[in-house]
Amino acid sequence: MKFQAVKGMRDFYPEDMAVLNWILSGWRRVSLRHGFQEFDSPILEYLDLYTLKSGEGIVSELFHLTDRGGRDLAIRPEVTPTLARMVAARANALPRPIKWFCMPRLCRAEKPQRGRGREFFQWNIDIIGVDDPVADAECIFVAADYLREAGLTARDVVIPISDRRLHKGILRGFGLGDDRHEKALALLDKAENVDPGRMHQMWDEAFGAAVPFAPLGRLLAAESIDEFVAIASQVGLTPDSFEGPVADLRQLWSYLDQFGIADYCRFDLHVVRGLAYYTGIVFEIHDRRGQLRAIAGGGRYDNLLQLVGGPAIAAVGFGMGDIVLAELLKDLGRLQGLSTGLDVYVVDAEDGLFADVLKIVAALRRAGVVAEFSYKRQSLGKQIKSASQRGARFVLIVGQKHRQQRVVDIKDMQSGQQREVPADDLLARPQEFLVAAGV
Amino acid sequence: MKFQAVKGMRDFYPEDMAVLNWILSGWRRVSLRHGFQEFDSPILEYLDLYTLKSGEGIVSELFHLTDRGGRDLAIRPEVTPTLARMVAARANALPRPIKWFCMPRLCRAEKPQRGRGREFFQWNIDIIGVDDPVADAECIFVAADYLREAGLTARDVVIPISDRRLHKGILRGFGLGDDRHEKALALLDKAENVDPGRMHQMWDEAFGAAVPFAPLGRLLAAESIDEFVAIASQVGLTPDSFEGPVADLRQLWSYLDQFGIADYCRFDLHVVRGLAYYTGIVFEIHDRRGQLRAIAGGGRYDNLLQLVGGPAIAAVGFGMGDIVLAELLKDLGRLQGLSTGLDVYVVDAEDGLFADVLKIVAALRRAGVVAEFSYKRQSLGKQIKSASQRGARFVLIVGQKHRQQRVVDIKDMQSGQQREVPADDLLARPQEFLVAAGV
């Protein structure tokens, strides 16, 4: 009987883990330098945390179970409700602004397909307690700074930015009742994955009587804030429905410019975001070639904390998954040579020196050096071959000279050069002798 | 409606996360320098992977569910079966020895109690493909090296070491059939948590007819290999039942000595380990005061790979959980001052300079400096107070001089000293100007 990984989930063999760790450590390093603090939560939450916000319909998309105490639990499919719960629980004690990040493992009971697994890791950046667009801009800056550091330039990726208040302003301007806005936004969110003709038809069937598709399409196609304002006026919408969001977006763009990342960003009302809790500016990250799913998505969600029993606090954030990101990095050849080798491989050149090898290995490791040795007592040549296969930077040869004078040979595996070193000096200051390796 | 974390599971607020990350990063650093490679696996496995080895009885201890495709899944309660599955799937392709580590999140549907949560992290170190006790010794060395680095000396913790083949040799020597050994070992494993009188009674009821408790107790109390051999002879057991394990244990001790960690180790047959898959040397790690549960446990499991459909390969490893470890470190005061502050907090000393603050913050962060600023335009004093609360090492003051000559003031928050620096020089080489902070 052979066992496999659960369908749609990934085993991380060491070469896969090297990629995942490279992504996770980059997310963490960038988060910290932007002043964010890390948090995490259990893999399981009470099922109610998700059904409260999204209704019972969400249950089929979750891995859920009932524990021995009869509690309904679910594996977290996203971390934003958890964040809202944790902040709400200490809302008065936490100093504001709250700038938190996390990199949770999440599961969704979806059909596996390209760029979408049933388990993945998601970088989450959130700022809570700030309603000024400077917080939205900072979230986008953190994302762009990570992309740049990961080798993704503004030629590789784009950050389309929109505002749900503009969508709602359009719908309201055409006379569509507020109670139908969520459904209309959900349909617009599908536009990305549906061909335009079919979209036109679906829209007409659902909302055509209230909102004609042609002017809506013109508005969504606006490539700048100014162009949007001009088209809105042409199609007969009054400017006061848009004043707030337009001013915020202009302010946002000025911040993006000061942060030096405006080249990554584009005004694009096609971004709607599927989740109902977004209330203002929303954004995504896409590959410029448009071949992959969104790399990230986020926006402002000013009402979510109240929904989970907390006070009314402004909030903005984004999530970036590891799967699409890794696909893009791989396509662009940015995931080469991530596995790291050994610093030193210690070998014995003759019988009776294995105890010395173990003592030297122990001393090197204690000093922080990545040191390895052969479990098998075999020829010097075979041991050096093993060292080479493991990517060792240096080989330390313990032979006759060590027995007599406590002197070892260090062989540089790149240059092939070999030199003698007193063992005691090496063990007292290993970094000094192995400095060429960047150890 | 207020939501809480699932019962028996932990939220990691930033101060808790700092502790967890300190533990996880130590585990990883030590693993790497001992030549181990990291792997990971999905949080869910097919339920069969656990019932195959442990029977249906294990199901009540698992968080398990059925997915939409009707598959029975469980959240992993330990990672060793997963490791066996992954190695078995590539048994012929993976170079030996296989030295892997991981730090998985695990869940068990147990009753929460001190030192035992329903969710925890567990460091796993495993060596596969080596039957010599040098591999057992190296696993113990890795554990001891981590303990030492975490500040736990041989006065704080002890590593009792035993061998299941000795237990089986004793039982066999007294004539107990092999088919009853697992049950007898399971009972002996409970001795730690049961008072001696009750243990004596339980033993007599179950196995007293075959194995008298008095000589068994004397053998288990042996404090060295030599003492064990002497008592075995006194109670009438023939030495040939023990020759293999006694030789291996002597060899193990010689390796432990060469690795320089024998002071952490103790021969102690009270260590049995509950899991049925152990086949040879077994060990645990305990606090010397004996107040906590085991910090770690492990041993040799030479048959597990075959059980999951792989070839017969020798294997040895251990697991160390984060909960008891953190309790001990906390009790001993080793978890102080783990939260790290900011490198720089950038403030504006007057109106109209916020754009400059954002540009400077952006340049510092891009250069890898942990830089922060105030979202609110408020007085210099209030901003410096915020900087102090956030633990900033330096404050960068952007004022009139910046507008006129592009010069900023750097205030050292430890010494209180302040000096002028040209902004362009600072942004070109921030590390040089902030070197006092160890940035």
pLDDT tens-place string over residues A147-176: 999 999 999 999 999 999 999 999 999 999
B371-373/A407-412 β-pairing: unpaired
Q: How far apart are CA B169 and CA B171, in angstroms?
A: 6
Identity of the residue in B11, B71, B371 whose CB atom sits nearest the CB atom of A86? B11
Q: How far apart are CA B68 and CA B158, in angstroms?
A: 48
Contacts of A371 in chain B (CB under 8 A): 33-35
Tell me the whole-structure pTM to 2 decimals: 0.95
Contacts of B10 in chain A (CB under 8 A): 42
Q: Out of A52-61, A322-331, A399-408, pick the least confident.
A: A52-61
Identity of the residue in B68, B358, B366 whose CB atom sits nearest the CB atom of A109? B68
Identity of the residue in A14, A65, A370 whose CB atom sits nearest the CB atom of B64? A65
Compute the C-alpha angle B12/A105/B305, nearest 5°.
Answer: 110
Contacts of A86 in chain B (CB under 8 A): 11, 13
Q: What is the mean pLDDT of the segment spanning A314-324?
A: 97
> Do residues B139 and B318 touch, judged by C-beta distance below 8 A?
yes
Number of A:B CB contacts under 8 A? Answer: 226
Identity of the residue in B6, B130, B261 whose CB atom sits nearest the CB atom of A46? B6
Taking residue B331's Cβ as centre, other Cβ atoms within 10 Å add up to 14
The answer to whether the CB atoms of B375 and A130 lie below 8 A apart is yes
Q: How far apart are CA A278 and CA A256, in angstroms?
A: 21
Q: Per-residue pLDDT for chain B (439 aa), expressed as one digit of tens each?
A: 689 999 999 999 999 999 999 999 999 999 999 999 999 999 999 999 999 877 787 889 999 999 999 999 999 999 999 999 999 999 999 999 999 999 999 999 988 888 889 999 999 999 999 999 999 999 999 999 999 999 999 999 999 999 999 999 999 999 999 999 989 999 998 887 888 899 999 999 999 988 999 999 999 999 999 999 999 999 999 888 899 999 999 999 999 999 999 999 999 999 998 777 899 999 999 999 999 999 999 999 998 888 888 889 999 999 999 999 999 999 999 998 887 789 999 999 999 999 999 999 999 999 999 999 999 999 999 999 999 999 999 999 999 999 999 999 999 999 999 999 999 999 999 988 886 544 4
pLDDT tens digits, residue range A280-311? 999 999 999 999 999 999 999 998 888 888 88
Rg (CA), chain A: 28
pLDDT tens digits, residue range A92-127? 999 999 999 999 999 999 888 888 899 999 999 999
3 state SS of A284: strand
Identity of the residue in B20, B43, B48 whose CB atom sits nearest the CB atom of A43? B43
Q: Is A306 on the interface with B (CB under 8 A)?
A: no
**Taking a contact as any Cβ pair under 8 Å apart, which residues of chain A between 9 and 48 contact chain B?**
9-14, 17-18, 20-21, 29, 32-35, 37-46, 48
- According to DSSP, the residues that pair with B315 across neighbouring strands are B128
Identity of the residue in B34, B95, B390 whose CB atom sits nearest the CB atom of A389? B95
pLDDT tens digits, residue range A6-46? 999 999 999 999 999 999 999 999 999 999 999 999 999 99
Find the residue in B nearest to A25 (Cα): B25
B184, amino acid identity:
A
Find which of A2, A4, A6, A388 to mutate to test the B interface (most B CBs within 10 Å of its CB). Answer: A6
Instruction: Choose among A393, A417, A395, A411: nearest CA to A343.
Output: A393
DSSP structural state of residue A352: T
**pLDDT at residue A439 tops 50:** no
The answer to whether the CB atoms of B41 and A365 lie below 8 A apart is no
H/E element, A158? strand A157-163
Helices B213-220 and B196-207, axial angle in degrees (round to 10):
130
Q: Tell which wins on pLDDT, B21 or A58.
A: B21
- Tell me, what's the pLDDT at A436? 53
Closest chain B C-alpha to A195 CA, distance in angstroms: 29
Find which of A13, A338, A346 to mutate to test the B interface (most B CBs within 10 Å of its CB). Answer: A13
Q: How far is CA A170 from CA A190, A226, A269, A277, B291, in A?
A: 18, 16, 11, 19, 67
> Do residues B365 and B339 touch, judged by C-beta distance below 8 A?
no
Contacts of B71 in chain A (CB under 8 A): 6-7
Backbone dihedral angles phi then psi of residue B387, each to the nearest 5 degrees: -60, -45
Find the residue in B nearest to A104 (Cα): B105
Identity of the residue in A10, A109, A135 whose CB atom sits nearest the CB atom of B67? A109
Which residue carries 């001009």 as its tokens? A230
The answer to whether the CB atoms of B105 and A35 lie below 8 A apart is no
Closest chain B C-alpha to A164 CA, distance in angstroms: 23
The answer to whether the CB atoms of A37 and B60 lie below 8 A apart is no
**Taking a contact as any Cβ pair under 8 Å apart, which residues of chain B between 344 and 383 contact chain A?**
355, 358-359, 362-363, 365-366, 368-372, 375
Task: Give B58's contacts (C-beta < 8 A, 6+ positions apart).
Answer: B50, B51, B77
Contacts of A369 in chain B (CB under 8 A): 33
Which residue carries 């404090």 as its tokens? B223
**pLDDT at residue A1 tops 80:** no
pLDDT tens digits, residue range A59-97? 899 999 999 999 999 999 999 999 999 999 999 999 999
The answer to whether the CB atoms of A90 and B13 lie below 8 A apart is yes
**Taking a contact as any Cβ pair under 8 Å apart, which residues of chain A between 241 and 260 contact chain B?**
254-255, 258-260
- Tell me, what's the pLDDT at A435? 64
Contacts of A20 in chain B (CB under 8 A): 40
The answer to whether the CB atoms of B375 and A97 lie below 8 A apart is yes
- Tell me, what's the pLDDT at A270? 94
Which residue carries 């939501």 as its tokens? B3
Taking residue B183's Cβ as centre, other Cβ atoms within 10 Å add up to 12
Q: Is B342 on the interface with A (CB under 8 A)?
A: yes
Contacts of A2 in chain B (CB under 8 A): 88-89, 308-309
DSSP structural state of residue A6: P
